[in-house]
Chain A
């Protein structure tokens, strides 16, 4: 399991702030939705079910995009692994 680090602040406009490093980022509304789910510790299957239920996207296609998104979050050191 992974989740967004607890020190990451997300605003409703999609501004993302890492309070440990001072780095900030911006994301679009879908990215914001995903970050909020990661912060709330929602698991991958549940995220996929919620997103594919809301948007016109196939599960496999979403998972590919989501994997890319997670790689980017890991690159920016915004994720942590949990039990």
Chain B
């Protein structure tokens, strides 16, 4: 098979201590033997490392946050598309996904493909909807409630035993051992990510994760389970290892089959000492540790690109167990000229 030259735009170039998945997604795509690409980085902030890293983006553009308004956002995409003729956009951040899903028809009319879950798939797996989701798809989930105000905090003690998990609708999660801590986390999270804030029952066990890709017809194209071996103070994996756990794969395949999931996803589960699995979160996009799956033999970013292009993708059936990743920090030296150019012109 010959290589086709494609222009793929990718977000999530924030390779910080709370990393976006953009850079590992690009690494996976660049390793494809079938697809040759020009990568367009789309960044929200001037200091997203992926803008400046070698061999990540061939060209980077600054884009406005979706919260600035859909028109403004779409105008910028049109402007970039006019110059770059984008074939495919891979959005990688939770907070932008709703906008991209809503705009997918408009993007498609412009000739820009996406490979995203439907609005219904996206909405029903929200942290606040997890209890209903668990019941509908017969998956164990921890008890949780959505709270809208500080007044709701007082009743938590009646519904849960402490400690509880306090979570933002997109990001952030903190343990709270008493109502005072819930107040503190509620204020912090709601100020940053808005409402509701989710309070979730604490399940004792080991956190395990799966990165997976569904084809939209109920088939699991790829799935790799992982356990975090080193976790940062933000709860992010700084090291991880692939597992042979077949139960995790069964749960993943069942979920993708029943929801007919379309696109990348990350399942976050707690495995208890009794061997039960509780789904604590379903992230509707590829996670930042996806390059571990690539290293273990499943190039999920490449498979997603192929699915988006309507190419035939044979599901991955194996991966290497015991493959590890260890993240590291690295000081990239840049010239002021580059920073100035991106800050002032919005492109580099």
**Cβ of A9 < 8 Å from any Cβ of B?**
yes
**Cβ of A17 < 8 Å from any Cβ of B?**
yes
Bound form: Cα–Cα A20–B206 in Å? 12
- Of the stretches B181-189, B212-220, B241-249, B306-314, the one at the interface is B241-249
Bound form: Cα–Cα A7–B244 in Å? 8
Contacts A20-B245, A21-B206, A22-B241: A9 and B322 contacting too (C-beta < 8 A)?
yes
Taking CB atoms and an 8 Å cut-off, the chain B residues in 225-245 that contact chain A are 226-227, 229, 240-241, 243-245
**Cβ of A19 < 8 Å from any Cβ of B?**
yes
Indicate with 1 or 0, residue by residue over A24-38, a CB within 8 angstroms of chain B CB atoms.
000000000000000
Give the chain B neighbours of A20 by CB distance below 8 A: 243-245
Pick from B206, B229, B271, B322: contact of A19, CB below 8 A.
Answer: B322
Give the chain A neighbours of B176 by CB distance below 8 A: none
Instruction: Let me know if A21 and B322 touch, CB within 8 A.
Output: no
Closest to B227 in A: A22
Bound form: Cα–Cα A17–B323 in Å? 12
Closest to B273 in A: A77
Bound form: Cα–Cα A9–B320 in Å? 13
> How far in angstroms is the closest Cβ of chain A from B293?
15
> How far in angstroms is the closest Cβ of chain B from A6?
10
Closest to B245 in A: A20
Give the chain A neighbours of B206 by CB distance below 8 A: 21
Bound form: Cα–Cα A9–B244 in Å? 11
> How far in angstroms is the closest Cβ of chain A from B93?
27
Closest to B244 in A: A19
Bound form: Cα–Cα A21–B229 in Å? 10
Indicate with 1 or 0, residue by residue over B194-212, a CB within 8 angstroms of chain A CB atoms.
0000000000001000000
**Cβ of B153 < 8 Å from any Cβ of A?**
no
Bound form: Cα–Cα A63–B241 in Å? 36
**Cβ of B321 < 8 Å from any Cβ of A?**
yes
> How far in angstroms is the closest Cβ of chain B from A11?
11
> How far in angstroms is the closest Cβ of chain A from B166?
27
> How far in angstroms is the closest Cβ of chain A from B97?
29
Q: What is A's interface to B at a CB cutoff of 8 Å?
A: 7, 9, 17, 19-22
* Sample (6) of A-B pairs whose CB atoms are under 8 Å apart: A17-B322, A19-B244, A19-B321, A22-B226, A22-B229, A22-B240
Q: What is B's interface to A at a CB cutoff of 8 Å?
A: 206, 226-227, 229, 240-241, 243-245, 271, 321-322
Q: Which 3 A-B pairs have the closest CB atoms?
A: A22-B227, A19-B244, A22-B241
Extra inter-chain contacts (10) besides given A20-B243, A21-B245, A22-B227, CB under 8 Å:
A9-B322, A19-B243, A19-B244, A19-B321, A19-B322, A20-B244, A21-B227, A22-B226, A22-B229, A22-B243
